[in-house]
Structure 1
Amino acid sequence: MRKLRTIEMHRLSVEQFKEAHKLPLIVVLDDVRSLYNVGSVFRCGDAFRVEGVYLCGITACPPNAEIHKTALGGEDSVDWRYFENTEDAVRELHDKGFFVWSVEQVEHSTKLQNIQSMLSQMSTDDAHAHEGYAIILGNEVKGVKQTVVDMSDGCLEIPQFGTKHSLNVSTTAGIVIWEFAKAFLTE
């Protein structure tokens, strides 16, 4: 096997990306403090063509050299918005008809391995049709704020089997966005 050269991968230009069909998913960052995590979320969002990223609270915004270090231009292709507080972002998403999940360990959470069947059921049930979906990822230490969890339509949890109780924000983003991509992307 031979590794492909970049030119052989036929990646989209930023302009083509902006016009391309998107995964109906918005990633919301609730007080994420690490600029490298923010950049990684943009890069992952670019890889799977998410609809957008909402940056909330203390979460830094582009342009920023440290965000760019891990985003590698994803901050230019993926649409983003800033909200002073996450609750305003959630209200807007609900007003637009989005189903909003916090990614957090809570009572009665939906285990991530069950999301495929849930999304399939939601997309075929007209009574529960949504314009899109949003996932909220929280602060590296405190997680998603309880007020934001309370506003969410549900919570997703990634099952873990080791000694640690959580994953890094950027790792979590990649895992959860991939599950949505499997359900929606056909190319």
Structure 2
Amino acid sequence: KVNKLPVCVLLDSIRSSYNVGSIFRTSDGAMIEKLYLCGYTPHPPKKEVLKTALDSQNSVSWEYVNDAKEVVIELKKKGYKICALELTDNSIPHYSLNKNDLPICLLVGNEITGVSQDLIDLCDVSIEIPQYGIKQSLNVAVAYGIAIFELRKIYDL
């Protein structure tokens, strides 16, 4: 039996329904604990989300909460390490986390503006995916996939 990954994921004001649907599918594949959709993040039953989610909205525990800060504060009280998937002055490579860092609440921000500063201020750590090209930018759903499966690998070791 495979255990759920002790990671809650918070999507803060993701713009694209298709990215959200893709994140649902990836979350199912990694077997995360819960997905929080916050701010103006589109959510089921929006048809564009459902189109790319391919029914994974029924296998992933999820909740819409308008105020992301409220979720972060609550999970912090429950002992979750708050981790932004964001390039900051202090961010560390995504593969630098270890099993002792779990449980984690992974914050994933808007495609253009990233994780908001008021949420970064609540974080214990920021992780980044090292990149070597010119753009220094990945699609949010792709970046999430890389990060969540690294956490899955850490947990399964």
TM-score by length of 2: 0.94
Given candidates 8, 18, 21, the residue that maps to 1:39 is 21
**How many residues end up aligned between the 2 structures?**
157
Counterpart residue identity of residue 16, structure 2: S
In 2: Cα distance, 1:35 partner to 1:89 partner: 21
Equivalent-residue separation in structure 1 for 2:88 and 2:26 (angstroms): 25
Q: Which residue of 1 aligns with 2:64?
A: 82
* Equivalent in the alignment of 1:157: 128
Bigger shift: 37-46 or 20-29?
20-29
Give the drift of 1:144.
Answer: 0.3
Q: Paired residue for 1:10?
A: none
4+ runs deviating over 4 angstroms: none
Cα distance, 1:20 vs structure 2: 6.5
Q: Distance in 2 between matches of 1:97 and 1:114?
A: 20
> What CA distance in whole angstroms lies between the structure 2 residues aligned with 1:142 and 1:165?
14
- Select 1:148's aligned residue among 114, 119, 127: 119
Counterparts of 1:159 and 1:33, CA distance in 2: 24
1:61: which partner in 2? 43
Matched with 1:167 is: 138
Q: Structure 1-normalised TM-score?
A: 0.79
Where structure 2 has 5 or more consecutive residues not aligned to the other structure, the ranges are: none
State the distance in 2 between where 1:166 and 1:147 align: 22
Partner Cα distance (1:170, 1:55) in 2: 14
Paired residues for 1:6-155 under 5 Å: 21-115=3-97, 119-120=98-99, 122=100, 132-155=103-126
> What percentage of aligned pairs have identical amino acids?
40
Superposed CA deviations along residues 45-100 of structure 1, whole A, max 9, x for unmatched, are 00111001000000012122111111101111100111112111111111211111
Greater Cα shift, 37-46 or 88-97: 88-97
